[in-house]
Structure 1
Amino acid sequence: MKPLGLGEHGGLTIVREGSSYVAYLRYRDFAGRGRRIKRSGRSRAEASREVLKAVKVALGTSGDDEYTAKTTFDDAAKGWLEMFAAQVERGARSPSTYDEYRHVVKRVIEPGVGSLRLGELTTPRLDRFVQAVLVDRGYATAKLTRSVLSGICSWLVRRGAIPSNPVRDLTPLELDRDRTARALSFEEVRTWLAILDSNEFAQRHDLPELARFMLATGLRLGEALGVTWADLDLAAGTIAVRRTIIRVQGKGLVANRVKSRASERGLILPAWCIELLKQRRVRLGGFDGPIFPDSHGGWRDRSNVGKAFRRVREGSEFDWVKTHTYRKTVATLLDRSGATARMIADQLGHSRVSMTQDVYLGRRATNATNVVVLEAYNPDGVIVEPRAANPDQ
């Protein structure tokens, strides 16, 4: 006789005892131990139903008949993605996040552990898998894979398909210290901008002013491309960060809400950036749409912008510079100038602050102190009268 697998049960044995029927059933729990359970009923059918129901309760799979110990992880992942897609339709989750998760499920998770049964999901098995992904594909993919695995397993726990989340106790992933993000020094900023200014391709793709704008604000690339002239108040010198540009499969470029409440923020611009934007507005002659549009006046694809920057920097001493380097540069500058972690988080739109700060203080604080530092950090060396820091502005 073939031994029972995890979460499996054998055949029913039903006997009559007096005026009732008693059903006996042997099963193997998820710890590998053999168990025997019995339930009675007024008929053979009732006793059978009761004992099968009792086994599901004992195994923790009574919540959802669709997903059992015999269900493959492949099928469970598809169900989780359907749930996630519904959240996207409601506007609760980002379409780009869904595309990213679907890609890692198809390319990494399904080939690696998709054939496992839910009853075979264990921490050691998944740990070996994630560690292999770390070696073969790198930290970023391993981290994303672990997050998706945890999301799927947490969903299965809520559906009653597995008793606990086996991803919770996986070996922590650690990024190599040598791969930490690097910031530009002040002299490197000037040299890099000079390269952009002198490069015909960079000028044709509007890279010099975009780089300066990101260095003045610390915005993510998608956020910078999503800023419209209506988001700017050049008289007050402020900007409202409301959206990010993403590409959604089947829809093309979409202006989406920024990734979190912390990312939806208002910032004060340094004076040299205000001057740059004023001149740009006059030069472009338009007052509607994005401040960094494509050739047709619409949204720009951040992937194409990234490729353009990459083409300019390849083969130069700045081959390591990415658009995210500008954010790292702003954060490093503010940190060295004595800004608190909260001030930097507000500038960059990070949500990694305490719950008290998030819930009770909100994320609408302006960057009045930060902007004094950014005022002096004018990469073009043009002297512009700085504004006084005013926390109440």
Structure 2
Amino acid sequence: MLLQKGPATAKLCRAVLSGACGWLVRQGGLSTNSVRDLTPIELEGGRTAKALTLEEVRRWLARLDGDEFARRHDLPELAWFMLATGLRVGEAVGVTWADVDLDAGVVMVQRTIVPVAGQGLVAKRVKSKASERGLIMPAWCVTLLRARRVRLGAFEGPVFPDSRGGWRDRGNVGEAFRRVRGDDFDWVTTHTFRKTVATLLDESGATARMIADQLGHSRVSMTQDVYLGRRAANAPNAVALEAYDPDLARPAK
């Protein structure tokens, strides 16, 4: 029976096979690792970044603010925080008050919260060295966190805890957002916030490296391929191509 699996599974199988072939090459069993020369595995149709526009951000946040379920599940300020930083949801719920320097306006991203069978929610170090980063927050986010700290009377533990003050399950967070998004925002997920941040920075003129550092990517290519949409070719190219203006090429009458 033929099993249908996605690109992620195919890439994992390829990585395992390549590792095995590499070992055989080192042991003299193979002359070359031919797996490395295979065509890269791509998603069908490509992966197109889709972000919220500024107007959609305002409508989305207004919906969260006005929804009793969203407020009860502490979604509005979490959404604001993720839009201020571009953090993954596991990283966002893993931020503690000790990671936040409100005077300097900096948040240190050091851990992510993951469910582990038999252990529940566990705080683990972020996925790579690049993901372990310090981010300067916009002034409005610092103001939001100052007010939140006073309101909650919190000086330790998670900034966005569960109802008992512990780690929050990122899966439950995603489900809560899906409960309130409605038909007009049915495409929005917690990952959309990261794409929105990347798009805003891209449009503001930030380099791909700067955006990758914000998102915690070690490879700029990941940022470009997944999070940044294709923009029109840069203006200097168009200026140079003006030389082909047909009116300029025609002989004067």
1:289 counterpart (145, 150, 157)? 157
* Whole-angstrom CA distance in 2 between matches of 1:170 and 1:191: 46
Alignment CA distance shift 1:189-1:156 (3 Å) = farther
- State the partner residue of 1:143: 11
Does the C-alpha gap of structure 1 residues 209 and 266 become closer, same or farther in structure 2, counting only changes over 3 Å? same
Residue of 22, 36, 41 corresponding to 1:168? 36
CA offset at residue 190 of structure 1? 0.9
Instruction: State the match for 1:198 in structure 2.
Output: 66
Residue of structure 2 aligned with 1:246, choices 110, 114, 117: 114
Within 2, Cα distance between the matches of 1:312 and 1:142?
Answer: 34
For these two proteins, the number of residue pairs brought into alignment is 221
1:196 Cα offset (Å): 1.4
The secondary structure found in structure 2 opposite 1:137 is: coil
Q: What is the deviation of 1:180?
A: 1.6
Quick one: distance in 1 between partners of 2:19 and 2:180? 39
Question: Which residue is equivalent to 1:330?
Answer: 197
Partners of 2:141 and 2:87 in 1: how far apart? 13
Larger CA Rg, structure 1 vs 2: 1
> In structure 1, how many angstroms separate the alpha carbons of the residues matched to 2:23 and 2:189?
36
Question: What is the CA–CA distance in structure 1 between the aligned matches of 2:37 and 2:136, rounded to whole Å?
Answer: 43
Write the distance in 2 (CA, Å) between the matches of 1:312 and 1:323. Answer: 12
Is it true that 1:344 corresponds to 2:211 in the alignment? yes
| More contact order relative to length (CA 8 Å, sep ≥ 6) | 2
User: RMSD between aligned alpha carbons?
Assistant: 2.3
Which residue identity lines up with residue 340 of structure 1 in the other structure?
Answer: T
Whole-Å separation in 2 of the counterparts to 1:148 and 1:287: 45
State the shift of 1:318 in Å.
1.0
Is 2:201 the partner of 1:318?
no
Change (3 A) 1:158 1:205: farther
Specify the alignment match of 2:133 in structure 1. 265
C-alpha separation between the residues in 2 aligned to 1:348 and 1:213? 14
Q: 1:253 to 1:172 in 2, by over 3 A?
A: same
Structure 2 SS opposite 1:213 = helix
Using the size of structure 1 for normalisation, the TM-score is 0.52
> Which residue of structure 2 aligns with residue 211 of structure 1?
79
Distance in 2, matches of 1:283 and 1:157, equals 61
The SS at the match of 1:304 is helix
Letter of the structure 1 residue corresponding to residue 48 of structure 2: T
Question: Which amino acid in 2 is paired with 1:332?
Answer: T
CA distance, structure 2, for counterparts of residue 307 and residue 162 of structure 1: 49
Q: Tell me the CA shift for residue 159 of structure 1.
A: 6.1
> How far is 1:230 from its partner?
0.5
Identity %, equivalent residues: 73
Pick closer, same or farther for the CA change 1:161–1:287 going to 2, 3 Å.
farther
1:159 and 1:304 mapped to 2: Cα distance?
47
5+ unaligned residues in a row in structure 2: which ranges? 222-253
Equivalent of 1:229, from 66, 73, 97?
Answer: 97
Aligned to 1:279: 147
Per the alignment, do residues 349 and 305 of structure 1 end up closer, same or farther by CA in structure 2, a change over 3 Å counting? same
Deviations 1:349-369 (A, max 9, x none): 111159xxxxxxxxxxxxxxx
CA gap of 1:160–1:205, structure 2 versus 1, over 3 A, is farther
**CA pair 352-187 structure 1, distance change in 2 beyond 3 A:** same
CA distance in 2, matches of 1:211, 1:285: 21
Distance 2:21 2:163 in 1: 45
Structure 1 stretches (4+) deviating beyond 6 angstroms? none
Q: Which residue does the alignment assign to 1:183?
A: 51
**Displacement of 1:198:** 1.9
Alpha-carbon distance in 2 for matches of 1:352, 1:213? 24
